[in-house]
Amino acid sequence: MNMLKILVLMHEDLVPPDSMKGFADKEIVEWKTEYDVVSSLKAMGHEVQPVGVFDDLGAIRRAIQEFEPDIAFNILEEFHGNSLYDYHVASYLELLKLPYTGCNPRGLMIAHDKALSKKLFTFHRISTPKFIVFPMGEKIKIPKSIRYPLIIKSLVEEGSYGLSQASVVNTQDKMIERIEYLHSKLNTHVLAEEYIEGREIYISIIGNSRLQTFPLIELEFGEMPDDAHKIATSKVKWDWRYQKQHKINLVAASNLDAKLIKKLYSVGKRIYKILGLSGYARIDLRLTEDNAIYVLEANANPDIGYGEETSTAADLSGLNYEQLLQKIINLGLSYKPETARI
Ligand SMILES: Nc1ncnc2c1ncn2[C@@H]1O[C@H](COP(=O)(O)OP(=O)(O)O)[C@@H](O)[C@H]1O
Ligand SMILES: [Mg+2]
């Protein structure tokens, strides 16, 4: 394998220590992805330099000048504390002509806006829950025709941020309360969406023009209380103790017939193309009892930590973590920004 000089771009607060020893789960969960990527790239024999970024593009520019990397491994998810700025950073790398891993700026921007992506899904007859956007700073007007239950979430945040059991609402009062809460807590526009009862399935896809799908993953809700909504709240996603306690696990999706599996892969790949994604991505969807597919969102640059959805899916296809990272690097090296889809 060719040894490469790899700059790993990450948030400055998440630059990982050399070892996990002595840290509590609550601390590790914050920078585990950064740790997994940096330590694995080193173990693979690459020369690795982590760069922490907050609001200074100069840090990236200086690191490129001094270290002269072959590629940037991009796991930076925000700039200036704003997760919508992630695509500007990818644009900056393109302008500097440095190859980078993951999605191109345009794909990042479109996938990040859940309402915009859902409009594109609808145009292409891919079903997605009906929705309304409640912009910040505007009076909340609830249409009379609205049907409950609804789920209230941020238009742009990721990683189940702001999602709890209280996100599913059955009355207008609860709905307004939750919208106001998210406006003030997350400082983003809010999406109210038809709540879809069903299984939670993830499709992991990797590639630039030729796409490869990994086996379908399901989030199993194990032994959550009967009256709890089976959704990926932030507790379900990030609290390792809670996951163990309630037997919440990422598993290979089983009991899906061959025709349905084919349909799911086809929907996933169409979405990847429709949104113009590159590198690697994960499509989140709900599958109802009668096997209707409702796409929730597409994640460009999904969490690439070991044991998260993408690496679990890759593992099931026989690709171990290091092989997955290497594939992502190779895709970054071969991506040609000037041929980005329009
Ligand atoms: N319309 C919906 N119906 C049912 N569950 C939903 C719906 N929207 C979101 N969820 C639940 O909330 C989780 C997070 O929502 P998602 O839109 O994927 O946001 P995030 O970007 O935080 O992952 C989903 O994985 C799912 O469990
Ligand atoms: Mg999601």
DSSP secondary structure string for all residues of 257-311: -HHHHHHHHHHHHHHHHHTT--EEEEEEEEE-TT--EEEEEEEES---STTSHHH
- Helix, strand or coil, per DSSP, at residue 163: coil
Please give the pLDDT value at position 2: 85
Q: Is the pLDDT of residue 51 over 70?
A: yes
Substitution candidate for ligand 1 out of 118, 163, 200 with most atoms within 8 A of CB: 163
SS3 category, 248: coil
Query: In this structure, is the dihedral angle defined by the CA atoms of residues 324, 109, 200 and 221, taken in order, positive or negative?
Result: positive
For the four alpha carbons of 17, 235, 250 and 258, in that order, the dihedral sign comes to: negative
Question: For residue 339, is pLDDT > 90?
Answer: no
**Is 109 a residue whose pLDDT tops 90?**
yes
Classified as helix, coil or strand, 154 is strand
Task: Tell me the average pLDDT across 98-105.
Answer: 98
CA dist 93 and 100 (Å) reads 7
Q: How confident is the model at residue 139 (pLDDT cuts 50, 70, 90)?
A: very high
Q: DSSP of 7-56, one letter per residue?
A: EEEEEGGGPPPS--TT--HHHHHHHHHHHHHHHHHHHTT-EEEEEEESS-
Ligand 1 close to Cβ of residue 200 (< 6 A): yes
What's the farthest any 2 CA atoms get from each other in the chain?
A: 62
298 pLDDT higher than 60: yes
| Backbone dihedral region for residue 109 (phi beyond 0: left; psi -120 to 50: alpha; all else: beta) | alpha
pLDDT of residue 248: 96
DSSP element (H, E) containing 5: strand 5-11
Output the CA 263–ligand 1 centroid distance in Å. Answer: 21
What mean pLDDT is predicted for residues 123-150? 96
Give me the mean pLDDT over the 116-138 stretch.
97
The whole-angstrom separation of Cα 120 and Cα 118 is 5
Nearest atom of ligand 1 to the alpha carbon of 284: 18
Residue whose C-alpha is closest to residue 217's, from 312, 318, 327? 312
Rounded to whole angstroms, the Cα distance separating 172 from 342 reads: 40
Cβ of 315 closer than 6 Å to ligand 1, yes or no, is no
Q: How far apart are CA 202 and CA 219, in angstroms?
A: 8
Q: Residue range 194-201: average pLDDT?
A: 98
Q: Is the CB of 158 under 6 A from ligand 1?
A: yes
Q: Is the CB of 232 under 6 A from ligand 1?
A: yes
pTM: 0.96
Q: Are 11 and 76 in contact (CB under 8 A)?
A: yes
pLDDT band at 1 (very low <50, low <70, confident <90, very high): low
Question: What are the structural domain ranges in the chain?
Answer: 5-100, 130-194, 198-339
Q: What angle do CA 296, 121, 287 make, to 5 degrees?
A: 40
Out of 2.60.40, 3.40.50, 3.30.1490, 2.40.128, the CATH code matching 130-194 is 3.30.1490
- 3-7, 197-201, 238-242, 284-288: which range is least confident on average? 238-242
| Residue 259 reports pLDDT greater than 80 | yes
Structure-token pair, residue 212 = 């490869």
> Across the chain, what does the average pLDDT equal?
96
C-alpha 254 – ligand 1 centre gap (Å): 21
Report the distance separating Cα 236 and Cα 242, nearest Å: 7
Nearest to residue 241, comparing CAs of 83, 5, 25? 25
Q: What is the pLDDT of residue 168?
A: 98
**Ligand 1 pocket: which of 147, 156, 160, 282 to mutate (most atoms <8 Å of CB)?**
160
Query: What is the CATH topology of the domain spanning 5-100?
Result: Rossmann fold (3.40.50)
The predicted pLDDT at position 341 comes to 62
Residue 174 has pLDDT above 90, yes or no: yes
At 202, is the secondary structure helix, strand, or coil?
Answer: strand
pLDDT in tens, 311-333: 999 999 999 999 999 999 999 99
Looking at residue 338, what is its pLDDT?
A: 78
The pair of structure tokens assigned to 96 is: 């500097």
Fold for the domain defined by 198-339: D-amino Acid Aminotransferase; Chain A, domain 1 (3.30.470)
- Residue 130: is its pLDDT beyond 80? yes
Task: Find the length of the chain.
Answer: 342
Q: For residue 342, name the pLDDT band (cuts at 50, 70, 90).
A: low
Q: Which ligand is nearest to the CA of 192?
A: 1
Q: Which one of the ligands is nearest to 157 CA?
A: 1
Q: Where are the beta strands (DSSP E) in 161-230?
A: 168-169, 190-194, 199-207, 211-213, 217-220
Between residues 2 and 73, which one has the greater pLDDT? Answer: 73
Q: From the CA of 71, how far away is ligand 1's center (Å)?
A: 33
